[in-house]
């Protein structure tokens, strides 16, 4: 069930059965010479819509912009400041909470979204703790699709260290599956593997400025061998992510926190 495809009486009827909503979060940023700029948005949206069908969950509008300043030296990237995303998330949640939604499940496709989302959740909890918001409790969970345990095992099995950190073969495989008509050929060589310290310190897209990022990763891939991506892998990754996320969502509705 997609929110924009509903009427308001449809939503009112849904709220009598559930107070949960799934919110896909992506980004609009370069994904190497062959990965589509909308990769993070297409992956988050396709996983969210597939899980929504399994779970019977309403899926809200996709957030297509996130913090991606480190990719601004590559043309076509559109970046929000982290603080802008915090405000967008708060306005999005409070709009739906006004109507009766209480459980907000963010299905994430971009590492840089996680820290601002956590900040937005704390801001909204703080409003209740401080007595500024007496509208009742709300619950949040953010899951990045690649962190779901079975998906994580599958992408390690398929790609090993070639998975890397950005323009990963797993995300590009999903876009090859959902958008075959616009997929690009990729015969790029394997990039230099990342060392463990780099991965440790730069997780969650914790990268420096755009100039130094492009100088270090001149084709835009961050340790990812995008040429390994296959549409059939994408179909498996998408189906596994949707199944796992639907179970995680059911647990979230039952337990609230997490």
Contacts of 216 (CB under 8 A, 6+ apart): none
The nearer residue to Ni ion, 40 or 248, going by C-beta atoms, is 40
Q: Which is nearer to Ni ion, 39 or 183 (CB)?
A: 39
Least gap, CB of 183 to Ni ion (angstroms)? 15
Calpha distance 160→202 (Å, rounded)? 18
Beta carbon of residue 109, minimum distance to Ni ion (angstroms, whole number) = 6
Nearer to Ni ion (CB atom), residue 163 or residue 171: 171
User: Which stretches of 114-207 are DSSP H helices?
Assistant: 114-129, 149-159, 169-178, 196-202
Between 19 and 28, CB nearer to Ni ion: 28
Q: Is 163 or 248 the residue whose CB approaches Ni ion more closely?
A: 163
Q: How many other C-beta atoms can be found within 10 angstroms of the C-beta atom of residue 135?
A: 12
Return the beta strands (E) in 33-145 as ranges: 58-59, 103-108, 139-144
* 148 to 187: interface string for Ni ion, x by CB under 5 A: -----------------------x----------------
Q: Residue 39 Cβ, how far from Ni ion at the closest point, in Å?
A: 5
Kindly state the smallest distance separating residue 214's Cβ from Ni ion, in Å: 16
DSSP 195-226: PHHHHHHHTTT----HHHHHHHSTTS-BS--G
Q: Is 144 helix (H, G, I), strand (E, B) or coil?
A: strand
Strands of the 20-25 sheet, one edge to the other? 58-59, 20-25, 103-108, 139-144
Q: Between residue 185 and residue 244, which ones bind Ni ion under the rule CB under 5 A?
A: none
Judged by CB, which is closer to Ni ion: 68, or 242? Answer: 68
Question: By CB under 5 A, is residue 40 in contact with Ni ion?
Answer: yes
Residue 219 CB-half CA count within 13 A: 16
Q: How far is the CB of 40 from Ni ion (least distance, A)?
A: 4
Task: Yes or no: say if 60 and 21 are a contact pair by the CB < 8 Å rule.
Answer: yes
Q: How far is the CB of 110 from Ni ion (least distance, A)?
A: 6
Task: Please identify the residue of the shown chain whose CB is closest to the bound Ni ion.
Answer: 40
Q: Which spans of this chain sit near Ni ion (rule: CB under 5 A)?
A: 39-40, 171
């Amino acid at each position: 069930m997609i929110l924009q495809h509903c009427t308001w009486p449809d939503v009112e009827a849904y709220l009598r059965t559930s107070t949960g909503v799934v919110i896909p979060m992506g980004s609009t940023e370069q994904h190497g010479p062959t990965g589509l700029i909308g990769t993070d948005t297409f992956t988050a949206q396709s996983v969210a819509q597939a899980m929504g069908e399994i779970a019977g969950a309403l899926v809200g509008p996709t957030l297509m912009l996130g913090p991606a300043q480190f990719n601004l030296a590559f043309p076509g990237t559109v970046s929000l400041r982290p603080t802008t995303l915090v405000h967008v998330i708060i306005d999005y949640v409070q709009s739906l909470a006004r109507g009766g939604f209480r459980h907000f499940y963010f299905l994430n496709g971009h590492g840089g979204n996680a820290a601002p989302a956590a900040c937005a959740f704390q801001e909204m909890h703080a409003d209740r703790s401080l007595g500024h918001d007496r509208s009742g409790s709300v619950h949040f969970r953010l899951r990045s699709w690649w962190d779901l345990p079975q998906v994580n095992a599958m992408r390690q099995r398929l790609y090993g260290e070639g998975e890397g950190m950005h323009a990963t073969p797993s995300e590009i495989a999903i876009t090859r599956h959902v958008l075959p008509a616009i997929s690009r050929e990729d015969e790029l060589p394997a990039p230099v593997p990342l060392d463990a310290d780099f991965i440790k310190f730069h997780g969650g897209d914790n990268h420096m400025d755009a100039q130094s990022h492009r100088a270090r990763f001149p084709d835009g891939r961050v340790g990812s061998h995008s040429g390994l991506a296959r549409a059939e892998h994408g179909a498996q990754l998408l189906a596994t992510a949707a199944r796992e996320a639907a179970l995680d969502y059911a647990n979230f509705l039952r337990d609230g926190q997490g």
